[in-house]
Structure 1
Amino acid sequence: MKIAINGFGRIGRTILRQILTTARGSGIQVLCINDIAEPEMCAYLFQYDSTFGPFPGQVALETGALVVDGRRIPLHQQANVTALDLSGADVLLDCTGIARSTDLAERGLSAGATKVLISGPSPAAEATVVYGVNTKDIKGARIVSNASCTTNAVAALVQLVDQVAGIDSGHMTTIHCYTNSQPMVDAPRGDFARSRGGAQSMVPTTTSAMHLIDVVLPHLRGRISGAAVRVPTASVSAVDLVARLNTPLAEADLMVALRAAADRSPVLGWTDQPLVSSDLRARPESLVIAAPETRIVDSRQLRIFGWYDNEWGFSARMLDVAAKMAEAD
Structure 2
Amino acid sequence: MTGKLRVFINGFGRIGRTLLRQILEDDARADVEIVGINDIAPLETCIYLLRYDSVYGTLSVPVTTGANQVTIGAKTIPFTREPDLRALDLRGVDVVLECTGKVKERQFAKAGIDAGARNVLISGPSKAAERTVVLGANEQELGDARIISNASCTTNAIAPLLRTIDLGLGISRAHVTTIHCYTGSQPTVDQPGASLERSRAAAVSMIPTSTSAADQLFNILPEFCDRLSVAAVRVPCISVSAIDATLQLVEQPEGSGVEFLREAFAGSALVGLCDDPCVSTDFRGRPESLVIALPETQEIEHRQLRVFGWYDNEWGFSARMLDMASRIAHRCG
Q: Which band: TM-score by shorter chain?
A: over 0.9
Distance 1:185 1:55 in 2: 30
Q: Hey, what's the Cα distance between the residues in 1 that align with 2:248 and 2:312?
A: 27
Q: 1:190, CA displacement in angstroms?
A: 1.3
Q: Deviations over 1:268-302 (max 9, x none)?
A: 10000000000000000000000000001122111
Q: Matches of 1:108 and 1:131 in 2, distance apart?
A: 23
SS in structure 1 opposite 2:58?
Answer: coil
Partner of 2:126 in structure 1? 122
Q: How does 1:155-304 map to 2 (within 5 A)?
A: 155-249=159-253, 252-304=255-307
Residue 292 of structure 1 aligns to a residue in which SS?
Answer: helix
Greater alpha carbon shift after TM alignment, 155-164 vs 189-198: 155-164
Maintained 8 Å contact 1:164/1:258: no
Measure, in 2, the Cα distance between the counterparts of 1:160 and 1:272. Answer: 20
Number of aligned residue pairs: 328
Q: Classify the secondary structure of the residue corresponding to 2:53.
A: coil
Give the Cα–Cα distance (whole angstroms) in 2 for the partners of residues 43 and 198 of structure 1: 26
Alpha-carbon separation, structure 2, partners of 1:150 and 1:109: 28
d(CA) in 1 for partners of 2:242, 2:160: 13
Contact 1:105 1:143 in 2 (8 A): yes
Distance 1:179 1:222 in 2: 30
1:313 equivalent to 2:316? Answer yes
Q: Identity rate of aligned residues, in percent? A: 50
Match of 1:326 in 2: 329
Distance 1:221 1:265 in 2: 26
CA contact (8 A) 1:210 1:226 kept: yes
Q: Distance in 2 between matches of 1:289 and 1:62?
A: 44
Asked if 1:44 corresponds to 2:44, the answer is no
1:105 aligns to 2:100 (yes or no): no
Shifted more, 99-108 versus 10-19: the winner is: 99-108
Q: Measure, in 2, the Cα distance between the counterparts of 1:49 and 1:164.
A: 41
SS in structure 2 opposite 1:87?
coil
Q: Which ranges of structure 1 fall in alignment gaps of 5 or more residues?
A: none
CA distance in 2, matches of 1:136, 1:87: 27
1:151-192 Cα deviation digits (max 9, x unpaired): 000101111221231100000000000000101111111111
